[in-house]
Every structure is written in structure tokens, then in C-alpha cells.
Structure 1
Amino acid sequence: MNTHPSRLLLSDLRDACLDGAECLFDPELHDGPGDGEAIEHPHERAAREDIAKDICGTCPVRGACLEYAVRTMPERGIWAGLSAEEVAAVADLCADHEQPTGRAAYRDVA
């Protein structure tokens, strides 16, 4: 990527973030059933999310994914090995510490 992530549009950042991402092989694993599909039992959701988090642990674009998630604050899914609620907590923590934007701000969290 020739352009720094902070200068990309969110749609472009998502595309750059996902290039080579492990979640591309099974997106439903990371995001759950789509709207209108069967309701997911809480135990099934927890098991699915645990597997998704394990896959994120070996993903080559985990840092970029976390950066994207903190910028966009997703409402659902697993991002860089974190749930949407955990991403919000990371964003709050980063804001509390007033760290600069960019990968360095998230290095110790991921």
C-alpha cells in the first residue's frame, strides 16, 4: 500500500485491510448469520467467535484490521481477534491515552 491508512477512505481502507485476510475464507464465521437467517444460540455464537478469534491470531493483516475496526467502530463481528464490544473498549483506551493514530497506536493491543 503506497498511501498511509489514515489518508484512505474507509471503503478503501477496508479493501486494503482485507487483502490477504484469513476471514475472507469464511466471512460468516467472523460475522455470524446474516439478517433473515436462523437465530444463533448463545452457545453456538460463543463457539463460533472463539474459532474466529483463533483464526485472527494467525492473520497477516491483523494490525490493519484493528486499525480499520477502531476507525469504523463495527456493531458486530470479530475484528483482529476482538468482538465489536472489545474493539470499542480498545478505542476508548486509546482515546484515554491520547495515542497518535496509526499502527503504532495499536501495536501493544493487538
Structure 2
Amino acid sequence: MAAIMIVDDTAFMRGMLRDILERGGHQVVCEATNGEEAVRSFITYKPDLVTMDITMPYMDGVDALKEIVVRHPSAKVVMCSAVGHQPIIIEAVQAGAKDFILKPFRPERVLAAIDKVMCS
């Protein structure tokens, strides 16, 4: 079981991920609605893993990922997006993302990504 922070600006998507993760035996320790909240919440909650949307207000997911990794190089972040553009995926991986999940979420893909990242 992993302690996970969900970061997404859409309540519906956060709810979907929470349901998938909890059914998979994981614990959601907090949620954030933008990159700025994600950085602050990571410091407070120190989750084992973060699922991070890319497109969000105030600070996007890639910039939040960069901030988190600078402060916590061992952070495990899985990026999530409805947009599968190769340059965004490459930028996220170069910034420290451990995996990338496309929306709409498929429960088996989400849980496989979490398991893979937690075992690495």
C-alpha cells in the first residue's frame, strides 16, 4: 500500500483516481487542485507517490514536478494528462516523472503504473 497525493484541477478526475487507488489498496493522503498546492502539500504530507495532472491553473504539473524534485530528488511522480503529445511526455520524464498515464483512466493501467513506480 502506498500513501498517495492526487493533483488535478478537476474534482471529477480526483474522485475517479481516488476510487481506483483505494480499490487497489492504496491510501490517498491528500488532494491538490493546482501545482502550487501540490508543492506545499508534498512538503506537509510527504506522500510515497504523487499523481500529477499536467494542465492546471497557477502552476502546471510539469513546473510543480520540477519544484518537488528539486526539493525532494527521490520523489515518485506519475504524470496524468488527456493530452498525449510526445514533447510534453519527454519534458515530464526529463524533469523526473517516473511514468505517464493518459486520461480517461483505465484502472488496470493506473494500478500497474503505481506498482511499477513503487517497486523501482
More strand by share: 2
Task: Look at both structures and tell me which one has the larger radius of gyration over its CA atoms.
Answer: 1
TM-score by length of 1: 0.32
